[in-house]
């Protein structure tokens, strides 16, 4: 016993503190080997004056259980007598799991750009009645945003990728999902397939059709799959900007804010002037594993450029 204690650097005081199973509590070889095997969990400590370098890790191990207490802490929610407990439905559970998974999978970064969309707003106001009469469709800002995003993706194709382990999968098709709120309060993302191949009329019809069928639960399963980029219109709720969570396995999502009239400085050949302009914010959240700040910043700036440089004389 003493030989083993010496090899394991067990002090005399520590040895005396171990309970034996032999006659009169005598410590035998099996007792000591069992103690050594469970040493990291042993609650008996030698006096500080007798501590040796080999014993120091035992003291450090005591602090390691602290992180394990975190989950139980976060899972405990107090409920008072007047509170109502609402069980998540299946869709809300799926959304919750997907959002948590996305945040733990992708290091999120968000870049913001303010855009002067005056020409775009005035153009839509000019053509919306004619457009509706001719196409039997109302033109909103959403198809215009989708068109700008599709163009910008062609300029910066590395936004249109997904990640598989250490592989980056560059997508051939540009399939843009548009987040749509449901009457139940849940969220669904129908996808406009090959959005870059549709003109503005085609995009308008696709947006309106998917939005209506999303609200009435008439979407087909494949119409919510295959997205390569997502657009969410937080402006429809009066919000000026947002920091959306990436829709995995995509690597970027664009939030468009509400359009507000604001005073802005315009540069003219006669000097700077202040004018009332239609302004909005674009917010791009992206996966910093594969999209650096330069790419994310240039992409959202390019989307803004397409919106700002809208041709007021464009034919419908």
pLDDT tens, residue by residue, 88-101: 999 899 999 999 99
Q: At what angle do helices 200-215 and 118-135 cross, to 10 degrees?
A: 80
Out of 30, 288, 305, 311, pick the active-site residue: 288
CA atoms within 13 A on the CB side of 211: 18
Mean pLDDT lowest for which of 22-26, 134-138, 172-176, 238-242?
22-26
Other Cβ atoms closer than 10 A to 99: 15
How does residue 28 score in pLDDT terms, banded at 50, 70 and 90?
confident
Nearest CA to 308 out of 265, 278, 283 is that of 278
Domain 90-308 listed as CATH 3.50.50.60: no
Task: Read off the pLDDT band of 46 (50, 70, 90).
Answer: very low
- Within the chain, all domains assigned CATH 3.30.559.10 are found at 90-308
* DSSP letter, residue 121: H
Helix (H, G, I), strand (E, B) or coil at 277: strand
- Report the C-alpha gap between 310 and 171 in whole angstroms: 28
DSSP 8-class letter at 19: P
Over the range 171-184, which residues count as b (16 or more CB within 10 Å of their CB) and which as e? beebbbbbbbbeee
Provide the CB-side half-sphere exposure for 288 (13 A, CA).
8
Strands 176-178 and 229-233: parallel
List helix spans (H) across 48-199: 56-61, 69-75, 90-105, 118-135, 142-155
**Residue 270 is among the residues annotated as catalytic for this protein:** no
Q: Are 298 and 156 in contact (CB under 8 A)?
A: yes
Q: Which of 89, 97, 155, 292 is catalytic?
A: 292
> Which of 189, 77, 149 is closest to 303 using CA atoms?
149
- Give the model's confidence band at 16: pLDDT under 50 very low, under 70 low, under 90 confident, else very high: confident
Confidence band of 226 (pLDDT split at 50, 70, 90): very high
| CA 308/CA 261 separation, integer angstroms | 15
Average pLDDT, integer, range 198-216:
97
pLDDT grade for 63, boundaries at 50, 70 and 90: very low
Question: CA 121, CA 250: separation in Å to the nearest integer?
Answer: 30
Q: How far apart are CA 88 and CA 82, in angstroms?
A: 19
Active site residue 292: yes
Given a contact cutoff of 8 angstroms between Cβ atoms, the answer to whether 106 and 245 are in contact is no
How would residue 54 be classed by pLDDT, with cut points 50, 70 and 90?
very low
Task: Tell me the three state secondary structure of residue 315.
Answer: coil
């Amino acid at each position: 016993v003493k030989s083993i204690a010496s090899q394991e650097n067990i002090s005399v005081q520590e040895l005396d503190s171990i309970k034996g199973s032999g006659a009169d509590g005598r410590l035998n070889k099996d007792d000591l080997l069992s103690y050594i095997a469970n040493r990291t969990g042993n609650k008996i400590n030698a006096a500080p004056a007798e501590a040796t370098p080999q014993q120091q890790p035992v003291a450090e191990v005591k602090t390691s259980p602290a992180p394990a207490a975190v989950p139980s802490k976060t899972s405990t929610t107090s409920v008072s007598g007047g509170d109502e407990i609402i069980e998540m439905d299946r869709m809300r559970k799926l959304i919750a799991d997907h959002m948590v998974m996305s945040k733990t999978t992708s290091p999120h970064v968000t870049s913001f750009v303010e855009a002067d969309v005056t020409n775009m707003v005035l153009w839509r106001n000019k053509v919306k009645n004619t457009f509706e009469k001719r196409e039997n469709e109302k033109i909103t800002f959403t198809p215009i945003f989708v068109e700008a995003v599709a163009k910008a993706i062609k300029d910066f194709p590395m936004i249109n990728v997904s990640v598989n382990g250490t592989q980056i999968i560059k997508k051939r098709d540009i399939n843009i999902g548009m987040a749509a709120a449901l009457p139940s309060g849940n969220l669904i993302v129908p996808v406009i397939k090959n959005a870059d191949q549709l003109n503005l009329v085609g995009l308008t019809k696709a947006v309106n059709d998917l939005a209506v069928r999303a609200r009435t639960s008439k979407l087909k399963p494949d119409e919510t799959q295959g997205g390569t980029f997502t657009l969410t219109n937080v402006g429809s709720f009066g919000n000026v900007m947002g920091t959306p969570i990436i829709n995995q396995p995509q690597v970027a999502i664009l939030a468009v804010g509400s359009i507000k009239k604001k005073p802005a400085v315009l540069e003219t050949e006669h000097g700077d002037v202040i004018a009332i302009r239609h302004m909005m914010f674009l917010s791009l959240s992206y996966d910093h594993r594969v999209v650096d700040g330069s790419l994310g910043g240039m992409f959202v700036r390019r989307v803004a450029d397409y919106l700002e440089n809208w041709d007021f004389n464009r034919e419908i």
